[in-house]
């Protein structure tokens, strides 16, 4: 298939004259029957990566997706570009016998180019048996992060996909797609789907038009939010709260203060939810106060602000939720309110869950704390989290956050960085941040005692500075790439080759003072 042809097909089916980002390369890979792995932020144009080759290739492409509403939208859109109703189908348990018969007939007759299925339906024996006998062009696994416990939406049934795919056919090419960029989730996807040789396509996650800001959350948070919304009156915005109760209360508070706001959460009946969503999309109201139930598949391009009344439980969620602002490339203000107390609340929610899940949840929360408390470029922090290098001086959107606009004081910390990395080395890379900081300030605990770290010469050598100082430095050194957190072990700190080089040849390191939000946050960091 030549390039010209692909452009023609793109125009013919979708009316677009250009591919977006990496789309063309991805499509060529699928057409060549090779496995591929696509990591693009929401709105990046992932769907077209499998829709176009599905329309071009012989046979039916199976698209696995967990979101029924999204599947229906896609099927409707595909039907609208074709004279053939059967060009796309959803196969799910809500279909009656005659509908199922029709779907199967359309597939057998080569009419259906895309068959959308939820993972539960794909695992059904009768469906596997049927699909085995059909010409399948390829398999697209949408929202592939659902396969990983490290993703924000783990679904155990995704774990069975590999086995099912093998039963349907041995050499069916696979395309996995996700907007989740953490290296750990990516590794899980490739391993679990058995496509470690897949060609990976990763788009940048930088959103240069978004402005990131974190403010301390105090008793006056509602008043702060009202002031912000009034300053931005007439603009569309989403305010996220953790609980349904808070959503209801805050939307009422906004209403009595003259702001046109509606609540949205899973506790409302579906009619009301749909109505509130429409009101927001049609701009009858300015603000939706919502739990995370709001947002999946919301494609309003001109959301001008996203406020987090409560800090989210991972950087991933923060990125997804703030990502709903400024889709059109225009202004997008992302304001989050942070108090360490909220982190403790989130920790509490996790207790009672399986230990591994708690460990993961805890490690993810620690990153949120680090993000909120850091005073380095927030964009650099986020992109580093997603495995991307960002130049905070010249990168796109470099000045678009509170930390960069109001820089904190910096000072030379070469000697301290050296002591920090030496401490990690001398303790054989067996500790997480907390124990490393405790070792530096000479504070013992059971773990430190059990390794006799309190008897080594280095113990307490950094006690001229306090725990907060060392925790801040550790975070900055992690982002600078001298140390890294090992994910498999839920956060043991290891020395990178760059860190080893630093020990041999220390260079200048300008440390930025961290934010101190409140007493709670400073006390709790290492307690």
- Judged by the rule CB under 6 A, the positions of this chain that interact with ligand ADP are 16, 18-20, 23, 40, 42-48
Nearest residue (CB) to ligand ADP, 13 versus 228 = 13
Nearest residue (CB) to ligand ADP, 46 versus 309 = 46
Q: Which of 391, 406, 214 is nearest to 311 (CA)?
A: 214
Coil/strand/helix, residue 311: coil
Nearest residue (CB) to ligand ADP, 18 versus 428 = 18
Nearest residue (CB) to ligand ADP, 20 versus 199 = 20
Task: State in angstroms the smallest separation of the CB of 16 from ligand ADP.
Answer: 4
Give yes or no for a contact between 66 and 153, defined as CB atoms under 8 angstroms apart: yes
Task: State in angstroms the smallest separation of the CB of 205 from ligand ADP.
Answer: 12
Task: Give the Cα separation of 391 and 108 in Å (integer).
Answer: 53
Segment 85-89 long-range contacts (CB within 8 Å, at least 24 positions apart): 86/111, 86/112, 87/55, 87/111, 87/112, 87/113, 87/114, 88/112, 88/113, 88/114, 88/115, 88/116, 89/114, 89/115, 89/116
Task: State in angstroms the smallest separation of the CB of 296 from ligand ADP.
Answer: 11
Nearest residue (CB) to ligand ADP, 67 versus 100 = 67
Nearest residue (CB) to ligand ADP, 10 versus 343 = 10
- Strands (DSSP E) found in 317-407: 332-338
Nearest residue (CB) to ligand ADP, 238 versus 287 = 238
Task: State in angstroms the smallest separation of the CB of 297 from ligand ADP.
Answer: 9
Coil/strand/helix, residue 141: strand
Give yes or no for a contact between 246 and 271, defined as CB atoms under 8 angstroms apart: no
Task: Give the Cα separation of 104 and 94 in Å (integer).
Answer: 15
Torsion sign, CA atoms 88, 91, 97, 103: positive
Task: State in angstroms the smallest separation of the CB of 177 from ligand ADP.
Answer: 7
Adjacency order of strands within the sheet including 332-338: 210-216, 332-338, 303-308, 236-240, 287-290, 261-264
Using only C-alpha atoms, the chain has a radius of gyration, in whole angstroms, of 25
Task: State in angstroms the smallest separation of the CB of 353 from ligand ADP.
Answer: 30
Rounded alpha-carbon distances, angstroms, from residue 402 to 205, 225, 269, 476, 521: 19, 17, 39, 17, 19
Query: What string of DSSP letters covers 182-242?
Result: -HHHHHHHHHHHT-TTPEEEE-----TTEEEEEEE--TTHHHHHHHHHHHTTTSEEEEE-S
Nearest residue (CB) to ligand ADP, 44 versus 361 = 44
Name the one residue in this structure whose structure tokens are 């591994």: 356
Task: State in angstroms the smallest separation of the CB of 9 from ligand ADP.
Answer: 12
Task: State in angstroms the smallest separation of the CB of 188 from ligand ADP.
Answer: 20
Task: State in angstroms the smallest separation of the CB of 173 from ligand ADP.
Answer: 19
In degrees, rounded to 5, the angle at the alpha carbon of residue 23 between the alpha carbons of residues 22 and 28 is 105
Q: How many residues does the chain have?
A: 527
Nearest residue (CB) to ligand ADP, 18 versus 96 = 18
Task: State in angstroms the smallest separation of the CB of 162 from ligand ADP.
Answer: 23
Nearest residue (CB) to ligand ADP, 20 versus 418 = 20
């Amino acid at each position: 298939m030549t390039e010209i042809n692909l452009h023609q097909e793109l125009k013919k089916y979708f009316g677009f004259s250009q591919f977006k980002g990496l789309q063309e390369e991805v499509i060529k890979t699928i057409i060549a029957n090779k496995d591929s792995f696509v990591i693009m932020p929401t709105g990046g144009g992932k769907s077209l990566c499998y829709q176009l080759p599905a329309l071009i290739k012989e046979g039916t492409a199976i698209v696995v997706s967990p979101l029924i509403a999204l599947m229906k939208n896609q099927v409707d859109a595909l039907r609208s570009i074709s004279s053939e109703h059967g060009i796309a189908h959803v196969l799910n348990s809500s279909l009656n016998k005659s509908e199922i018969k029709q779907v199967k007939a359309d597939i057998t007759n080569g009419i259906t180019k895309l068959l959308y299925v939820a993972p539960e339906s794909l695992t059904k024996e009768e469906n596997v048996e049927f699909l085995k006998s059909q010409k399948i062009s390829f398999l697209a696994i949408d929202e592939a992060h659902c396969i990983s416990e490290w993703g924000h939406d783990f679904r155990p049934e995704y774990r069975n996909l590999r086995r099912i795919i093998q039963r349907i056919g041995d050499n069916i090419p696979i395309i996995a797609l996700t907007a989740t960029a953490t290296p750990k989730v990516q590794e899980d996807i490739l391993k679990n789907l058995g496509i470690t040789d897949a060609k990976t396509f990763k788009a940048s996650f930088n959103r240069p038009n978004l402005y990131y800001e974190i403010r301390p959350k105090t008793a006056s948070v509602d008043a702060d939010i009202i002031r912000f919304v009034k300053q931005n009156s007439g603009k569309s915005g989403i305010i996220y709260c953790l609980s349904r109760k808070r959503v209801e209360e805050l939307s009422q508070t906004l209403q009595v203060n003259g702001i046109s706001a509606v609540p949205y959460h899973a506790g409302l009946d579906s009619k009301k939810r749909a109505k509130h969503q429409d009101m927001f999309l049609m701009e009858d109201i300015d603000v939706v106060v919502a739990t995370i139930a709001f947002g999946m598949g919301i494609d309003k391009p001109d959301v001008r602000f996203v406020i987090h009344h409560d800090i989210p439980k991972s950087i991933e969620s923060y990125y997804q939720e703030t990502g709903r602002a400024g889709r059109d490339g225009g202004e997008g203000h992302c304001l989050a309110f942070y108090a360490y107390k909220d982190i403790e609340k989130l920790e509490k929610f996790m207790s009672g869950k399986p230990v591994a899940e708690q460990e993961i949840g805890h490690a993810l929360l620690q990153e949120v704390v680090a993000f909120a408390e850091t005073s380095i470029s927030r964009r650099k922090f986020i992109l580093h989290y997603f495995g991307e290098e960002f130049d905070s001086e010249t990168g796109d959107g470099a000045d678009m956050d509170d930390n960069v606009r109001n820089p904190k004081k910096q000072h030379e910390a070469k000697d301290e960085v050296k002591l920090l990395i030496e401490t990690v080395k001398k303790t054989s890379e067996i500790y997480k941040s907390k124990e490393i900081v405790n070792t530096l300030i000479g504070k013992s605990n059971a773990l430190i005692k059990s390794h006799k770290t309190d008897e080594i010469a280095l113990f307490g050598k950094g006690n001229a500075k306090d725990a907060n100082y060392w925790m801040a430095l550790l975070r900055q050194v992690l982002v600078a790439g001298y140390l890294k957190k090992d994910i498999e072990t839920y956060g043991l700190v290891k020395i990178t080759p760059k860190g080893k080089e630093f020990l041999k040849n220390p260079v200048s390191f300008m440390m930025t003072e961290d934010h101190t939000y409140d007493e709670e946050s400073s006390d709790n960091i290492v307690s």
